[in-house]
């Protein structure tokens, strides 16, 4: 859990995940380096009754989108009034790319178009000073 020193600009909490793709893969989430939750590929396994086959943790490089702030129009108090801002979130993100692992992963562009996009925009992944891209 986030400790009280991370609020009001007094400190920071690190949120992260480890992504292991494939039919035996998993995704593990962590806060401050401690595991909080893991989903294994078996959790998205087949369901014969529903006619759903085995699904895997995707092997394509993926973008993880974090929705960090609730929408005022969707989240309301019990009396129906919008929630007030109970806390201030100062988000400072850093994309960490394990490019040293890329040679092992081998994502051919013909099978994974995301790989081609990444290769054509490598500066976006390597320059920590880029904060917006349009």
What pLDDT sits at residue 104?
46
Residue 95 or residue 14, greater confidence: 14
Average pLDDT over residues 108-118: 66
What pLDDT sits at residue 71?
53
What are the structure tokens assigned to 64, written together?
A: 């993880």
What pLDDT sits at residue 88?
56
What pLDDT sits at residue 92?
55
Average pLDDT over residues 41-61: 84
What pLDDT sits at residue 128?
78
Q: Which helix (H) or strand (E) holds 114?
A: helix 113-120
What pLDDT sits at residue 103?
41
Q: Across 21-79, where does the E strand assignment appear?
A: 26-31, 34-40
Average pLDDT over residues 22-29: 86
What pLDDT sits at residue 12?
78
Confidence category of residue 126, pLDDT binned at 50, 70, 90: confident
Q: Give dist(CA 39, CA 19) in Å, integer.
A: 10
Look at the alpha carbons of 31, 34, 37, 41 in this order and tell me if their dihedral is positive or negative.
positive
Q: What are the residue ranges spanned by the domains of the chain?
A: 4-93, 94-134
pLDDT tens figures, 67-105: 555 555 556 677 777 666 655 555 555 544 444 444 444
What pLDDT sits at residue 49?
93
**CA distances, 123 to each of 20, 29, 53 (Å):** 25, 27, 38
């Amino acid at each position: 859990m986030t400790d009280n020193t991370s609020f009001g600009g007094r400190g920071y909490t690190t949120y992260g995940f480890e992504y292991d793709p494939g039919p035996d893969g998993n995704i593990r989430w962590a806060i401050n380096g401690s595991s909080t939750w893991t989903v294994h590929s078996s959790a998205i396994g087949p369901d014969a009754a529903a006619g759903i086959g085995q699904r895997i943790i995707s092997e394509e490089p993926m973008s993880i989108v974090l929705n960090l702030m609730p929408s005022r129009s969707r989240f309301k108090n019990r009396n129906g009034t919008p929630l007030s801002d109970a806390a201030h979130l100062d988000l400072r993100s850093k994309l960490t790319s394990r490019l040293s692992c890329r040679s092992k992963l081998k994502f051919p562009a013909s099978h994974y178009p995301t790989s081609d996009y990444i290769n054509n925009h490598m500066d976006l992944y390597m320059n920590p000073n880029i904060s917006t891209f349009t």
